[in-house]
A and B are shown apart, each in its own frame.
Chain A
Amino acid sequence: DTGVSQNPRHKITKRGQNVTFRCDPISEHNRLYWYRQTLGQGPEFLTYFQNEAQLEKSRLLSDRFSAERPKGSFSTLEIQRTEQGDSAMYLCASSAGDRADEKLFFGSGTQLSVL
């Protein structure tokens, strides 16, 4: 069990560019989540996958954001036409089992800075 892995750890981009982040969950965890955290705030839910199916998306998630989890393994989060307001820590988490109230295991996040 190597934990949840996220890459890259840091990303600096210019406004208007596209960025993609990767998350490798704990092996055999069927539930995968993306959260966003800004300084001084708690994590904010973005989207949830059960295996390869994206079952829930935040209403706050604009159409510039897209996430995938092909084959129910790793996941990617893409942000198109980045804006300065997208600057944040993007956290991935995974959990096992059938219950939504299982504890989450978080990765160390990808820190995005949009200049």
Chain B
Amino acid sequence: EDQVTQSPEALRLQEGESSSLNCSYTVSGLRGLFWYRQDPGKGPEFLFTLYSAGEEKEKERLKATLTKKESFLHITAPKPEDSATYLCAVQAWGNKLVFGAGTILRVKS
């Protein structure tokens, strides 16, 4: 069965303090690994798709990387507006995404 585990469950950072979020996955036939951001009371918002090991994508202060077993979301010099829940999901065969429980990020100024 496809599974996604995210760590840590929660992370508190000072503004400017860089860190990484981890997403470990087991899936039969990875078609894509997705990162989404979710603000309280809203639906998830797409950030990145990674398709193969070694792939990296960047957007502003965020950089996502992928290996055969896990993905990292690196946050460089975060700002308070980066505070959100970050969700990782995998797409195997079929039409559904399997999500992890998310990492709640709080950035204090």
Contacts and interface: CB of A to CB of B under 8 A. Distances in A.
Contact of A41 (B41, B46, B96, B101): B101
A100 B43 contact: no
A93 interface: yes
Given A42-B89, A105-B46, A107-B43, A100 B94 contact: yes
A100 B41 CA distance: 26
Interface string A55-99: 110100000000000000000000000000000000101000000
A21 interface: no
User: Interface on chain A toward B: helix, strand, loop, or mixed SS?
Assistant: loop
Q: Chain A contact residues (Cβ within 8 angstroms of B): what range?
A: 20 to 34
Interface string B69-100: 00000000000000000010101001111111
Contacts of A30: none
A56 B100 contact: no
Contacts of A45: 96-98
Nearest to B43: A106
Contact of A58 (B36, B42, B96): B96
Contacts of B89: 42
Given A56-B96, A101-B32, A101-B49, A93 B91 contact: no
Given A42-B89, A42-B102, A48-B96, 9 more contacts: A42-B4, A42-B101, A43-B44, A43-B87, A56-B96, A100-B94, A101-B49, A101-B91, A104-B44
Interface of A: 4, 31, 33, 40-45, 48, 55-56, 58, 91, 93, 100-101, 103-109
